[in-house]
Amino acid sequence: MPIRPGDVRALLETLVRIDSRNPGLVAGAPGEAHCAHVLAEVLGGWGFRLTWQDAAPGRPNLVARIGDAQPGAPVLLFNGHLDVVGTDAMTHAPFVPTVRDGSLYGRGSCDMKGGIAAMCVAAHRAAADGLRGEVIVAAVCDEEFASIGTRALVASGIRADACVVTEPTRLAIAPAHKGFAWLEFTCHGVAAHGSRHDIGVDAIVHAARIALAYERLGATVLREVTHPLLDHASVHASTIEGGSGWSTYPDRCVLRVERRTIPGETERAVHDEAARIVAAIESAVPGARITWTMPLHQSPSDVATDAPIVRALADAAAAATATTPPIEGLGCWTDAALLNAAGIPAICYGPGDIALAHAATEYVPLEEVETATAVLTRLARDWCA
């Protein structure tokens, strides 16, 4: 059934009804393609100009444009991801949008189809009043895994004066968020019978030394690495695998660590930090041998609190709601970091609480969706005035 132009709730319910679990996270999951094509049908009917980008086979980005695209006109980008995480252990039907006590429940309702619906409707409403500029809506794939969607968007050469990523922020303006690095340490020992302490080398003990070294780092040095909106940097041990039996010295143990970074911390700094920990253990412990990699690094994101897009969004919120939203940092990572790195100032603002993202119970307050829509509409009008 067609969605009436500007009906944000109907659009949200339609998107939540579609299973768009990320196949990088859930084996055999359908991915975002069907959701993207349904959204394209809606936005095409509303007058958007549509283009497609294939980030990978069967993993499309939908780029929808509306407004005046003449050279030199202002351009505002709205960005959001269509993929969702798995549904194991959810307390309600994941893909049956259900309204209860003013909130809409369903996987992806908060993270982040509420934000997708708000930004699409806001762009349409702003264009209906006439724009002297262009609003681009980018509904991307794969943010929950490797962000191949926004990486492809950036690689395509997309340009905008600024961007709002409509991740759930409880309607706070979030100009900064943390980054992270995944580190995998493989500790090598010598397998031997449990009675042969003279020849056995315990790989698990080496891994424990790494974990304790990071624990000490997190409790001391990293507490001094701070940002005005983001508290301090942190680290935790994520998984550990090793050993083959009660009576055998383990010859191998794999420890995975996640390091959360703040603006100013670089990939090289995290690399060197890990190298120092490994070198210290190998130097101090006879027989210790450790190899390691950094499979993934995602940079933090930081936009000045007085940047034009921050001021414009705050003014739009004040005009639309008669209140000025708080300015906060996000602990989680978002695609805003990739857009900032590409020279597009990107901040986060959207309905819902990030604490409900990936949760067994996920919902978004419908009033927040409506408020976000009104604020983003005003922002688009003002930015493209």
Helix extents (H) in the chain: 8-16, 33-45, 114-128, 148-155, 203-219, 267-284, 308-321, 336-341, 366-383
Check whether 207 has a pLDDT greater than 90: yes
Nearest to residue 311, comparing CAs of 383, 377, 228? 383
Residue 83 in tokens = 């993929």
Which pLDDT value is given to residue 1? Answer: 60
What distance in Å separates the CA atoms of residue 376 and residue 374, rounded to the nearest whole number?
6
Residues carrying an active site annotation: 83, 143
How high is the pLDDT of residue 302? 98
Report the C-alpha gap between 115 and 110 in whole angstroms: 8
For 345-357, how does the pLDDT look when each residue is reduced to its tens digit (9 = 90+)?
999 999 999 999 9
pLDDT band at residue 69 under the 50/70/90 scheme: confident
Please give the Cα distance from 307 to 305 (Å, whole number).
Answer: 6
Is pTM beyond 0.85? Reply is yes
* pLDDT digit string, tens, across residues 34-46: 999 999 999 999 9
Would you tell me the crossing angle of helices 114-128 and 33-45 to the nearest 10 degrees? 20
Average pLDDT over residues 311-324: 97
Q: pLDDT for 44-62, tens place per residue?
A: 999 999 999 999 999 999 9
- The mean pLDDT value of the chain amounts to 97
Quote the Cα angle for 282-285-286, to 5°.
100
Q: What confidence tens digit (pLDDT) does each residue in 74-133 have?
A: 999 999 999 999 999 999 999 999 999 999 999 999 999 999 999 999 999 999 989 999
**pLDDT per residue as tens digits for the range 136-159:** 999 999 999 999 999 999 999 999
How confident is the model at residue 74, as a pLDDT? 97
Cα(363)–Cα(259) distance, integer angstroms: 29
The mean pLDDT value for 160-187 works out to: 98
- In this predicted structure, the answer to whether residue 337 has a pLDDT above a threshold of 70 is yes
pLDDT above 70: residue 2:
yes
Task: Report the distance separating Cα 273 and Cα 98, nearest Å.
Answer: 47
Contact 39, 120 (CB under 8 A): yes
pLDDT tens across 172-183, in order? 999 999 999 999
**Interatomic CA distance for residues 68 and 70, integer angstroms:** 6
Q: What is the mean pLDDT of residues 230-247?
A: 96
Q: What integer pLDDT is reported at residue 70 of this predicted model? A: 87
